[in-house]
C-alpha cells in the first residue's frame, strides 16, 4: 500500500514532483505576499506613532486606519 | 452602485476574511489531496501519471479565469474611472501568474511520461506560455509606471490585447492538431471524464480557488495600507 502510494507503478517521481512544485509555489507566494503585508503594516504603525496629537486625531478618525492599527493576524 | 466598492468600506471585511479563507483552504486542500493521491483510480492508459491532472487542470483554469476577470475589471475601471477596480486587478495578478507557471511546469512534468518529451511548441502549450508573458508584462507595468493614469492605461491595453489569447488557448486543441488532448470536461455537453476522477478534480479546483482568494485578500490589504501610508505622509 505504502509502496504503491510512493512509487505509483514507476510514475511516482513525476506525480510527486508535480505536487511538490505546486506546494512550493503556494508557500513561496504566500510568504512573499505576507512579507510585503507585514512590511507595509509596520511602516504604517511607525508613521502613525510619530504623528503629533492633532494629526494622530485626524488620522485616527478614519475607520480604515483604526482597522490597520487593530491586530490583524494574517 | 460603485460607492460600495470604496476601499474604506471594503477594508473592514477584507482585513478579517483571510484567516477564515486560510482555514477553509487547508480543510478543502486536505480532502482534495487524499482524494487525488490515494482514493481516485488510476487511468487505464496513463496509469498513475493521470494524478498530475489534479494540480495541472485547476491551475490552468484559475489562471485563465483570473486573466479574464482582470480584463473585465480593467475595461470597466477605465471606462468609469474606478480606481479600486485597478487595485483589485493588481491584487489578483500575482496568483494568476503563479497558477499559470504551475500549469506550465506540471504540464511539462506530465508530458514526459505521456508524450516522451518535457516540452513541445504545440498550440495549447505555446498559447499558455504566451499568457504567462502577458501576466509578466502586466506585473512589470505596475512596477515600472508610478503615475496612476499611465499605469491604468497601459495595464488595460495589456489585458485587452492579452484576452485575444484566451479563446485561442481554449480552442487550440480543436483548431490545430496538437499533442495536448482535447477537453474532457464540457459545460454544454456530456463530459468524457468519469465521476471518480471528476470529484477530486472539483475539490482541488475549489482548494486552488480558495488559495487565490486568500492571496488576493492579503495583497489587496497590502495595497490599501500602502495608500494609507502615503496619506499619513501628506498629513
In this complex, how many residue pairs, one in chain A and one in chain B, have their CB atoms less than 8 Å apart?
A: 119
Prediction pTM value:
0.91
Mutual angle of helices B83-115 and B7-14, in 10-degree steps: 50
State the Cα–Cα distance between residues B109 and B103, nearest whole angstrom.
10
Question: What pLDDT score does B175 carry?
Answer: 87
- Judge: B12–A33 Cβ closer than 8 Å, yes or no: no
Query: Mean pLDDT in chain B?
Result: 92
Contact partners, residue B227, CB within 8 Å, separation at least 6: B7
Q: Where exactly are the structural domains of chain B?
A: 51-183+191-234
Q: Which residues of chain A have pLDDT under 70?
A: 55-56, 59-61, 63-74
pLDDT digits (tens, 9 = 90+) for B85-127: 999 999 999 999 999 999 999 999 999 999 999 999 999 999 9
Sequence-distant (6+) residues with CB within 8 A of B84 are: B5, B6, B7, B10, B77
- Find, in chain A, the residue whose alpha carbon is nearest to that of B22: A74
Whether B92 and B135 have beta carbons less than 8 Å apart is answered as no
d(CA A42, CA A35): 11
In this complex, do B48 and A9 lie within 8 Å of one another by their Cβ atoms?
yes
Of B48, B219, B235, the CB nearest to A8: B48
* SS3 call for B47: strand
How do residues B162-203 score in pLDDT, each as one tens digit?
999 999 999 998 888 877 877 777 766 777 789 999 999 999
Question: What pLDDT does B89 receive?
Answer: 97
Amino acid at each position: 500500500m505504502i509502496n504503491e502510494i510512493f512509487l505509483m507503478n514507476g510514475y511516482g517521481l513525476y506525480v510527486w514532483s508535480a505536487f511538490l512544485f505546486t506546494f512550493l509555489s503556494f508557500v513561496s507566494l504566500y510568504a512573499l505576499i505576507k512579507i510585503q503585508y507585514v512590511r507595509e503594516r509596520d511602516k504604517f504603525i511607525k508613521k502613525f506613532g510619530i504623528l503629533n496629537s492633532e494629526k494622530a486625531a485626524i488620522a485616527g478618525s478614519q475607520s480604515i486606519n483604526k482597522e490597520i492599527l487593530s491586530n490583524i493576524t494574517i | 452602485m460603485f460607492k460600495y466598492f470604496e476601499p474604506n468600506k471594503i477594508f473592514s471585511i477584507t482585513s478579517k476574511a483571510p484567516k477564515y479563507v486560510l482555514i477553509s483552504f487547508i480543510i478543502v486542500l486536505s480532502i482534495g489531496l487524499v482524494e487525488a493521491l490515494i482514493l481516485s483510480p488510476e487511468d487505464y492508459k496513463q496509469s498513475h501519471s493521470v494524478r498530475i491532472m489534479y494540480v495541472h487542470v485547476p491551475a490552468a483554469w484559475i489562471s485563465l479565469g483570473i486573466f479574464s476577470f482582470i480584463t473585465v475589471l480593467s475595461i470597466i475601471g477605465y471606462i468609469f474611472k474606478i480606481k479600486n477596480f485597478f487595485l483589485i486587478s493588481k491584487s489578483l495578478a500575482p496568483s494568476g501568474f503563479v497558477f499559470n507557471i504551475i500549469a506550465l511546469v506540471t504540464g511539462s512534468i506530465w508530458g514526459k511520461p505521456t508524450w516522451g518529451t518535457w516540452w513541445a511548441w504545440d498550440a495549447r502549450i505555446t498559447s499558455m506560455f504566451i499568457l504567462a508573458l502577458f501576466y509578466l508584462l502586466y506585473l512589470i507595468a505596475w512596477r515600472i509606471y508610478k503615475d496612476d493614469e499611465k499605469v491604468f492605461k497601459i495595464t488595460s491595453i495589456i489585458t485587452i490585447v492579452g484576452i485575444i489569447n484566451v479563446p485561442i488557448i481554449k480552442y487550440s486543441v480543436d483548431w490545430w492538431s496538437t499533442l495536448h488532448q482535447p477537453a474532457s470536461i464540457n459545460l454544454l455537453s456530456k463530459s468524457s471524464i468519469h465521476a471518480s476522477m471528476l470529484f477530486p478534480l472539483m475539490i482541488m479546483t475549489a482548494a486552488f480557488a480558495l488559495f487565490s482568494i486568500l492571496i488576493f485578500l492579503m495583497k489587496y490589504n497590502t495595497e490599501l495600507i500602502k495608500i494609507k501610508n502615503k496619506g499619513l505622509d501628506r498629513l
